[in-house]
Each structure stands twice: as structure tokens, then as C-alpha cells.
Structure 1
Amino acid sequence: MTVVFEPGSTVVRRDVRDGKVWTAAPHRVLADDGTRMLLVTWPGTAGYTLTNWIRSLTGGGEQARRQAVADLAAGVWELGRWVWRDTIVVTWIGLDPDFSLQHYQPVDAGPGHWKINFERPVIRSREPDRIDSCDLLLDLITDPDGTWRWKDVDEYDEIRSKGLISDVEHERVQAARRRAVAFTETGQGPLAEDWTSSRVPADWPLPVLPDGVLNTHE
């Protein structure tokens, strides 16, 4: 039976590698039909991510970021608590099996941007309500003027060279990259809409991670 999540409910988006969680972030559901899902998260929401990733965002710089990627490639890491800041993030799941689409809107009303996030196909589950995937560290960014650019290609190449991405999966990602460029250049789906004024419903509290969210049963 297909798992369908109710609007307003909390769903945890996790990245999992070899049965081990490396990110967990709670979102609220805006809409879901069992195939396509629309999620939102916003500043103040607390989740987990790689400790070295947190260091890279809080003064550790590029060296900490490189170590976070190396930790992921090696399959050995520590998790730390991370509180989201600065932007409202709306995420579309199910537009394509190999990527999600996100819109980042600064809370200070500055210019937002779009990101296509390449990842493994999403698995929906209960207890807790969640969607599991694995971010492949490759993004396609569309700036406010409509121009697009690749992001984190070196990181993708690194995890591929260290065996996290097989040759078969790499070919799948290459095909997804072509679809993503076509999706972006033709302004398909949400890209054709104005999301700059999107706001979280005023009566929604911050989503909170449930107990046991770091456990897996693989």
C-alpha cells in the first residue's frame, strides 16, 4: 500500500547510506498524493547532519567541508544537531525519480533561487513518518535571472572515485542531469510559477524530529 502523508503533518527527510543515517530533517507536508509530495521547512527547524558539515558552516571553511565529504565516502561519521536558518525551503518530491526540486526564499525578502538535488529514489515509510534517500552531492542551481550552473561537481566526483557511486548509478545520474537541464531550460512545473511570496501557514508550529529517527531497520 502506498504511504500518503496528510497536509500539515511532520515528515522527516533522511539521507541513508548502507543502513546508516547521515542527515535527518523534519518538514511539514503541504500536499501529497502518494506520488508527488510538497514539503516545507523554515528557520528554527532542528535536525541532524554530519558534524564536519556543521563545522564548515560555522567557521571551519573548506577544509571541514572536504573532511565531511571524505567521512561520507569512507562510511564513518558523527552527527551533530543543526538548526536551519535564513531561508524558507519548499521541496517537491516525485517530479523525477532521480532528483528533487527545491526553492529557497530568504526570510529577509531577498532574491531566492532554485536547486535541483540529485539523489537516490525516495522510499516512503512510517514509524516515524519519513522519506529516505541518499543525496549524491550534485546540484543544479538556477539563479533569479534564470541562468543555471552546476554545483559540487568535485564532491560528486570524489564520492564516485571512492566507490559510493557505481558505474551503473553514474550512468543513471548522467541521464538525470540531461533531464534536469531540459526541465530547467523549458521552465517546467513549479519553475513556471512565482514562489517568491510563499510563506508558512501562520498557525503551524515548527516541525520536530520524533524519537528513534536515527534508527534504521536495513
Structure 2
Amino acid sequence: MSSALRCFQPGERIAIREVRAGRVWTSRPVTVVHDSADQFVSYLEPGTIIDYPVGVEHGRRTFAMWLSGEWELAGREFLAPGMLRIAPSGQPFEVFAPWSAERGVLSWYVNFQEPLTRTPSGFETMDETLDLEVTADLSSWRRKDEDELELAVEMGVYSDADAQRIRAACLAVESGLRSGAVPWDLSWRDWRPPEPGSNPPAT
């Protein structure tokens, strides 16, 4: 790894940006929790201001923006609870784990997206529409936004091959859950964010 593309240290603030056709779609400042060859883990704190498209809505409006390349960004506050983000290296998904001091990890939200690409200031990726909502105890799960994936194919955002690839990634995660071979590091369910002003825990 070149010096420009270094591993980030726990406690560093970096940005995870979604980029579509060379334009930033969202930018989320996060705190680094862990960065290794196996996984990148970060924490999105409540109250963080993220850059988010103005007037965006799920479905047709989002896809029209993606196709036209026309949108503007504005600051939006990320509300509680905080979110731990777990990205197994090279995988076409990131796991979002909403976290509360009272209950710990509330659920696992598998966000299918382009694998994270490291940059000097953080990472870049792009959402790929389909999601999988998994209960905290891994006992059940359900797909989210399958209808939007179909709409995206109809509108020309994705090809049929793209949609097949995205669904195959989801099937692989579901198969892992079914067999007990969960494809992300479950030890993070015991993680706790550091107290404000304290040193980050070693990872």
C-alpha cells in the first residue's frame, strides 16, 4: 500500500462518500474504529452533519437524478441512534448496525453497494439499491427495496446482468445466515463507543 493510501488509525475522522458517475452523491464523516486487511469498521455518531442530495426521494426520483447527473448537496443531521458500520474487505456490501447505550446493537442492515475503495481521505462506494434487514439475534431477515431494483432496471440504471449480480450477492448473505456462517464479524455486537473526549480503544 502506498503512503498516500494508508490504513487509518482508530479515532481518526474520515469521509465515506457515495460517488455516481464521478459526482458525490453523499458524504458521511465517520470515526474510524478498526482498519485492517480483513475489514474496515467505523462509527457514525448522532448529530453528525452529512452531505445529502436536496429533495431526494426513494425510487423514481432518485434514479432520475442518477441518470441525469443533476443534483445538489446540502447538510443534513444524522439522528440518534448512532450507527456502527462494518465493511468486510472486498465484499459488495456494508453492514449498518444501529447502536444504543441501553440495548447495544439493535439490528443488522446489510446495504448492498460497490466494495469500498480506499482514498487518501477515506473511502468511496455507491449504493446498489437492494438491502437485507436482519434481526439483532440473526433469527430472521427480509429483503428491502426489491421493487426499486426492478424499477431501476426498467429505467436503465442497471442492466439485467447488474441486477442478477446484486441479487446473487444477497442470496449469498442469506445462505450464510441460514447455515450459521454469518459473513461479517459478529464480535462487534459487544463494542461500545468511547466516551466523548476519551482515547479510542485499541483494536
TM-score, length basis structure 1: 0.77
Which ranges of structure 2 fall in alignment gaps of 5 or more residues? 199-203
Specify which of 142, 148, 155 is matched with residue 155 of structure 1: 148
Residue 12 of structure 1, aligned match among 11, 15, 28: 15
**Structure 1 match to 2:126:** 134
How far residue 52 of structure 1 moved from its aligned partner, in angstroms, is 2.0
Equivalent position of 1:39 in the other structure? 42
RMSD: 2.5
Structure 1 residue 201, shift from structure 2 partner = 0.8
Partner AA of 1:75 in structure 2: G
Identity of aligned residues (%): 25
CA distance in 2, matches of 1:183, 1:91: 19
**What amino acid sits opposite 1:132 in the alignment?**
E
Secondary structure in 2 aligned to 1:27? strand
Q: In the alignment, residue 65 of structure 2 is paired with which amino acid?
A: D
Separation in 2 of the partners of 1:153 and 1:139?
8
Distance 1:105 1:90, change over 3 A: same
3-state SS in 2 of match to 1:65 = coil
Match of 1:102 in 2: 96
CA distance in 1, matches of 2:67, 2:144: 18
Superimposed CA distance per residue, residues 45-86 of structure 1 (whole angstroms, 9 cap, x where no aligned partner): 111112123xxxxxxxxxx43423432343322212111012
**Superposition deviation, residue 111 in structure 1:** 7.2
Give 2:109's aligned amino acid. K
What SS does structure 2 have at the residue aligned with 1:161?
A: helix
- From 73, 79, 82, the counterpart of 2:73: 79
Shift of 1:161: 2.2
Q: Distance in 1 between matches of 2:9 and 2:185?
A: 24
CA shift, 1:176, in A, is: 0.7
Instruction: Report which structure shows greater RCO (CA 8 Å, sep ≥6).
Output: 1
TM-score by length of 2: 0.82
Contact (CA 8 Å) 2:173, 2:182: kept in 1 or not? no
Q: Aligned residues, how many?
A: 192
Q: Aligned equivalents of 1:202 and 1:132: distance in 2?
A: 28
Q: 1:35 to 1:110 in 2, by over 3 A?
A: closer
Aligned partner of 2:201 in structure 1 is none
